[in-house]
Amino acid sequence: MPRILSRIDQAIHQFDNVLRTLVPGAAVASRPTPAGKEIEDGEMSAEERHHAAGLMRINHTGEVCAQALYQGQGLTAKLPEVRGQMEEAAQEEIDHLAWCEERLGELGSRSSVLNPLFYTASFGMGALAGAVGDRVSLGFVAATEEQVGKHLDKHLESLPAGDRRSRAVLAQMAIDEAHHAQQALEAGGARFPGPVKAGMTLMSKVMTKSVYRI
C-alpha cells in the first residue's frame, strides 16, 4: 500500500519538482538522448546555428510549461489514477527537458530567462483545469500536446539541413507527445472545441515569439 504523503511532504516534493524543472542542469533524463554519438551534424553557418538554438530554446520552454501543467494538474486531480497518469507523463517530459537543454549547450546557447514566468502561468492553468474536473483536465492535456506536436512539425521543417542532432531529438519528442495526447483522450479527456484551441494557439505564439530570442 503506497504511503500517504503529509502536506509538508507534498510541499517538499513539489518544491523539488520546481527546482528540477527550472534550475539548469537539474533535469536528469531516464532515457538516453536520441541524438546519440552515431549522429553527427553537417556543416552549419553561424546564422543557422543561431536559428537552431532559437528553435530548441522554444522547445525547452515548451517542456518547462509541460512540466508545470502536469504538476499543477496532478496537485488538483480528483482520481488517483489520473494523478498517476499525470506523474508518469511528467517523468517522460523530463527526458525532453534534459535533451533540449543538452542540445542548447551543444549549440553554444542557453535556456530562456523567461522560463519562471511561463512555468508559473502554466502551473496555474494546470491546477485550475484539475480543479474543474478530471475530464476537463485530461482534455487540456490532449489539446496542449496537439499544439506541441504542431510546433514540433514546424520546427522539423525549419531546422537547418545540417542540424541532424536537433532533428533526432525533436522527432522522438513528436512521437512521445502524440502518445500523451492519445492517452489523455482514451482516459476520458474532453475534446476541446475549435475556439478554445484557437485561444491556446494564440497564447503559444506569445511564448514562441518571445523565447526565440530571450
Which positions ≥6 away from 81 have C-beta within 8 Å?
187
40 annotated to a ligand binding site? no
Which positions ≥6 away from 55 have C-beta within 8 Å?
155, 158, 159, 166, 212
Inter-residue contact 28 to 161 (CB < 8 Å): no
101 annotated to a ligand binding site? no
157 annotated to a ligand binding site? no
60 annotated to a ligand binding site? no
13 annotated to a ligand binding site? no
145 annotated to a ligand binding site? yes
Which positions ≥6 away from 204 have C-beta within 8 Å?
147, 151
The DSSP element (H or E) to which 164 belongs, if any, is helix 164-186
Q: Which amino acids are annotated as binding site, given as ranges?
A: 63, 93, 96, 145, 177, 180
Give the residue numbers of the binding site for Fe cation.
Answer: 63, 93, 96, 145, 177, 180
